[in-house]
């Protein structure tokens, strides 16, 4: 009964929203009173089941649903007839059900919360005690084959409402949010250009917005100036990686029919790379390629001046071409010839620009040099710390070996001063003058002249 109510309510809502014009004509032709009774009955049925509430949520959002019973009552939540929780109101004991929702949902009181919504979480949620039904529709927006597209390629913009593919949505196109003519969940874009690039907005029920950023890219190049005898790089690249797989490509110069260029090849073992043997006029990177398709023209002369075309082919039959112009000038007198426009030898340039595991070689060299410097710094810090520890240990050892002062030592210090005092006191008194006369000493005290 509850499912029938829910289904009938949803059909009635969709019918009222999408067929308002048909209902107006029907009102004019039929008995207005009878139609009003039918609509009133359907509205009363929806109000009675009160359970026709539909949530539209983004992927990753959270939804909360109330059972509407007392917190002490037992509560059973179900998702598409699969048990989520069975909660005993008095004890609060919770038993998980078999539904995948049970592993991430939480229940507090009579409220069920489902976080981090996924498309598989779309469906009907039912609380058995109150008979309340909720419908959750998880909406996702994305671009096929990817958000970065090539010029002139085709794309699909998706605003998928899981479980409800017939509901109309409104697309707003860049750059000013103009309403797009089609209101389908999936719209087709043919031969995209820079006009389609930007933010596309999908409006669901006027209160949910999902934004899709679309980037349209093409091959890039610049005009090249060189001096006679130089080795010059012909530029051709994508500004960033794209969703479409590169399947082939080539360089071409109509004014140089005898000059052979390498071709782009994408194989399972080697990936995307240049393929060419015995090319005397052109150098190229032998490593795996990603977005850079430059080649080097050796020893340019005036006859090489002209237009060069770079073509890259992608999955789905899409191919992009770009032209670059080469101008050759006489070398100024007194100036030695350079190997290329950047003044670097071609071998060095080729080595540094070679791609290894998706990154250029110079990036790996920079990372390696930084790692070595960091390791050396760590070793130096460790050596200094060990040296400081040894010095501290040595100081502690010397302090522990030092003998404490004894009483004898103190006496020795006092003895020096006492010896000085005793020395001064031991000095003999001066001899009286009469004792100094030897005659007087010999004659005796009673001797007279």
User: pLDDT tens for residues 246-302?
Assistant: 999 999 999 999 899 999 999 988 899 999 887 889 999 888 998 999 999 999 999
In the block, which residue shows the tokens 């992608």? Answer: 314
pLDDT value for 53: 86
In the block, which residue shows the tokens 């994508």? Answer: 238
Work out the burial of residue 167: count CB atoms within 10 Å of its CB; fewer than 13 is exposed, 13-18 middle, 19 or more buried: buried
According to CATH, where is 2.60.40.10 located in the chain?
54-217, 224-353
**Is it the case that residue 337 has pLDDT exceeding 60?**
no
Q: How confident is the model at residue 427 (pLDDT cuts 50, 70, 90)?
A: low
- What average pLDDT does range 163-179 have in this prediction? 91
Bigger pLDDT: 102 vs 3: 102
Q: How far is it, in rounded angstroms, from Cα 154 to Cα 243?
A: 12
In the block, which residue shows the tokens 């359907």? Answer: 42
pTM here is 0.58
Q: What are the Cα distances from residue 363, in Å, to 240, 352, 354, 429?
A: 17, 8, 10, 100
Residue 114: both structure tokens together: 């489902």
Q: How confident is the model at residue 397 (pLDDT cuts 50, 70, 90)?
A: confident
Q: The domain 224-353 belongs to what CATH superfamily?
A: Immunoglobulins (2.60.40.10)
> pLDDT above 70 covers what percent of the chain?
72
Q: How confident is the model at residue 87 (pLDDT cuts 50, 70, 90)?
A: confident
pLDDT value for 242: 87
Residue 217: both structure tokens together: 């890219």
Q: How confident is the model at residue 448 (pLDDT cuts 50, 70, 90)?
A: very low
H or E element that contains 159: strand 155-161
Residue 175 phi, psi (nearest 5) = -95, -10
pLDDT in tens, 377-392: 999 999 999 999 989 9
Helices 2-18 + 20-29 axis angle, to 10: 90
**Average per-residue pLDDT for the chain:** 79
Instruction: Name the pairing type of β-strands 295-297 and 232-234.
Output: antiparallel
- What average pLDDT does range 217-223 have in this prediction? 92
Cα torsion angle, 402, 403, 404, 408, sign: negative
pLDDT in tens, 62-75: 999 998 888 778 88
- What average pLDDT does range 352-360 have in this prediction? 68
pLDDT value for 430: 65
- What average pLDDT does range 2-13 have in this prediction? 45
Name the nearest CA neighbour of 210 among 232, 185, 238, 230. Answer: 185
pLDDT value for 22: 44
Name the nearest CA neighbour of 232 among 291, 288, 306. Answer: 306
Q: In what order do the strands lie in the sheet with 198-204?
A: 148-150, 208-217, 198-204, 170-173, 178-179
**Is it the case that residue 329 has pLDDT exceeding 70?**
yes
pLDDT value for 343: 40
**Is it the case that residue 23 has pLDDT exceeding 50?**
no
**Is it the case that residue 58 has pLDDT exceeding 70?**
yes
Q: In what order do the strands lie in the sheet with 282-283?
A: 232-234, 295-297, 282-283
Which residue spans within 206-277 are E strands per DSSP? 208-217, 224-227, 232-234, 246-252, 263-267, 271-275
**Is it the case that residue 27 has pLDDT exceeding 60?**
no
pLDDT in tens, 399-413: 887 666 555 555 555
- What average pLDDT does range 169-175 have in this prediction? 92
**Is it the case that residue 15 has pLDDT exceeding 90?**
no
The correct answer on CATH 3.30.210.10 for the domain covering 54-217 is no
Name the nearest CA neighbour of 317 among 194, 189, 153, 193. Answer: 153
């Amino acid at each position: 009964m509850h499912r029938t109510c829910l289904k009938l309510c949803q059909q009635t809502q969709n019918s009222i929203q999408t067929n308002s014009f048909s209902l107006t004509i029907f009102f004019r032709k039929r008995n207005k009173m009878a139609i009003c009774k039918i609509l009133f009955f359907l509205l009363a049925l929806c109000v009675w089941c009160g359970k026709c509430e539909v949530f539209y949520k983004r992927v990753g959002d959270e939804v909360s649903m109330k059972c509407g019973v007392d917190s002490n009552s037992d509560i059973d939540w179900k998702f598409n007839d699969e048990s989520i929780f069975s909660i005993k109101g008095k004890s609060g004991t919770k038993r998980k059900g078999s539904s995948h929702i049970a592993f991430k949902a939480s229940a507090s009181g009579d409220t069920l919360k489902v976080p981090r919504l996924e498309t598989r979480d779309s469906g009907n949620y039912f609380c058995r005690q109150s008979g309340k039904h909720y419908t959750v529709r998880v909406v996702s927006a994305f671009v096929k084959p990817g958000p970065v597209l090539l010029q002139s390629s085709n794309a699909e913009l998706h605003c998928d409402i899981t479980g409800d593919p017939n509901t109309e949505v409104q697309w707003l196109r860049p750059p000013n949010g103009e309403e797009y003519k089609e209101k389908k969940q999936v719209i087709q874009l043919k031969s995209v250009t820079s006009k389609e690039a930007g933010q596309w907005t999908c409006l669901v029920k006027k209160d949910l917005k999902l934004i899709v950023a679309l980037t349209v890219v093409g091959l890039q190049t610049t005009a090249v100036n060189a001096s006679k005898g130089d080795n010059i790089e012909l530029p051709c690249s994508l500004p960033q990686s794209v969703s479409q797989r590169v399947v082939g490509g080539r360089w071409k110069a109509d004014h140089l029919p005898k000059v052979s260029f390498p071709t782009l090849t994408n194989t399972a073992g080697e990936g995307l790379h240049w393929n060419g043997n015995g090319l005397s006029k052109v150098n190229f990177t032998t490593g795996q390629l990603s977005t850079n398709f430059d080649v080097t023209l050796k020893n340019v002369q005036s006859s090489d001046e002209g237009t060069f075309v770079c073509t890259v082919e992608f999955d789905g039959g899409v191919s992009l071409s770009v032209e670059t112009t080469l101008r050759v000038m006489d070398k100024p007198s007194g100036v030695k010839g350079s190997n290329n426009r950047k003044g670097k030898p071609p071998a060095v340039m080729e080595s540094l620009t070679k791609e290894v595991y998706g990154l250029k070689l110079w990036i790996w060299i920079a990372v390696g040099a930084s790692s070595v410097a960091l390791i050396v710094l760590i070793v130096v810090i460790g050596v200094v710390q060990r040296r400081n520890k040894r010095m501290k240990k040595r100081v502690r050892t010397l302090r522990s070996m030092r003998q404490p002062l004894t009483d004898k030592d103190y006496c020795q210090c006092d003895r020096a001063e006492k010896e000085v005092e005793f020395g001064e006191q031991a000095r003999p008194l001066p001899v009286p003058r009469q004792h100094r006369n030897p005659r007087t000493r010999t004659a005796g005290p009673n001797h007279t002249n």
